[in-house]
Amino acid sequence: MIINSNEDDHQDFITHFNYIDFLNNLSKGVSISRNLTIEKRILDIPIINKKVNLVKLTLKGIEVEHKIIIKEEAYAVVCVSWISVKAYYLLYNLCLILKYLVTGNKTAFNSSHLGMLKDFKGYISRNELVFSVSEFNQLHSCKRILSWKSRSGSNIRSKGVDNNERLLQIIKKLANYSLEEFKRTNNIKSFRSKKDKLLFNNRFANEQISICGFFYWYRIKANYRDLEYLNKNIGDDKFRNFYDSYYELTVNFYKAFKVLINDIAKIRLGRELL
């Protein structure tokens, strides 16, 4: 899917669309395999069904929105601002279920958002969970990512940008979001002082960025940054295309998690969950 840029378009909107559309295409047919030994049964506790119902209701809500947008594209502008939040919570609850099935520890359901993201990156780094698409298995240090350079203006091009360049752009965007959050939570305006430079080197520089963190960081973005384009003169068809790509990307990941979770749940609980 292509959104062509011209003087009437807005670079921030086009940039986000290009990233989402790329990830959507990259994730088509993606699956997750496990290198974990799963043998023992665990308790089938009530919170599992609660989380499963949340997942089903969230997915149904997104699907209903998508069906409405297919019939009436003007509705897309209403939904675009929240699709990243709904998509994230769908996958966050899937990850909570997965963590419980792997660990057998009910405290898994108390995992924080950043804690869950860290746990998932741990599964990837230890090769315990492996995506069929290699790009989703890669981890990059923040310090290295922030030094990467890309061609000026290539983020708003829909043609003439190869997969490696687009991937670099997305990972750097996620690293910048992570850096902004680090500065915000630590009340840092710049890294000019020796204290703040040490804080950067000791607590941030070696942090790992995974492209799978896209859903987390775009949920943060939707909450309080980078949505200025919603108030600009952008066509209904472009908002529809944006929503379509985000919806399809979300479903691609949901399907991969569904198969993995059901595989482990049959061993751990004696039943499928999704």
Return the amino acid letter for 176. N
Q: Is the pLDDT of residue 38 over 90?
A: yes
pLDDT of residue 7: 40
pLDDT grade for 34, boundaries at 50, 70 and 90: very high
Q: Crossing angle, helix 76-103 and helix 236-268, to 10 degrees?
A: 20
pLDDT of residue 220: 77
Is the residue at 249 inside a domain? yes
pLDDT grade for 222, boundaries at 50, 70 and 90: low
SS3 at position 93? helix
User: What is the rounded average pLDDT of the residues 5-25?
Assistant: 79
Q: What is the pLDDT of residues 234-247, one digit of tens each?
A: 888 999 999 999 99
Is the residue at 182 inside a domain? no
SS3 at position 34? strand
Q: Is the pLDDT of residue 176 over 50?
A: yes
pLDDT grade for 192, boundaries at 50, 70 and 90: confident
User: What is the rounded average pLDDT of the residues 70-99?
Assistant: 94
Is the residue at 156 inside a domain? no
Is the residue at 161 inside a domain? no
Q: How far apart are CA 129 and CA 99, in angstroms?
A: 12
pLDDT of residue 78: 86
pLDDT grade for 155, boundaries at 50, 70 and 90: confident
pTM beyond cutoff 0.85: yes
Residues 6/26, Cβ–Cβ less than 8 Å: no
Is the residue at 264 inside a domain? yes
| Domain with 224 in it | 11-136+215-268
Residues 209/170, Cβ–Cβ less than 8 Å: no
Residues 225/176, Cβ–Cβ less than 8 Å: no
pLDDT of residue 145: 87
User: What is the rounded average pLDDT of the residues 161-188?
Assistant: 88
pLDDT grade for 115, boundaries at 50, 70 and 90: very high
pLDDT of residue 229: 58
Burial of 185-223, coded b for 16+ CB within 10 Å and e otherwise, reads eeebeebeeeebeebbeeebeebbbbbbbbbbbbbbbbe
Average pLDDT score, the chain: 89
Is the residue at 4 inside a domain? no
User: What is the rounded average pLDDT of the residues 215-229?
Assistant: 68
Return the amino acid letter for 211. I
Please give the tally of structural domains in the chain: 1
User: What is the rounded average pLDDT of the residues 181-190?
Assistant: 86
pLDDT of residue 230: 60
Is the residue at 195 inside a domain? no
CB neighbourhood size of 161 (10 A): 18
pLDDT grade for 161, boundaries at 50, 70 and 90: confident
Residues 16/173, Cβ–Cβ less than 8 Å: no
Is the residue at 225 inside a domain? yes
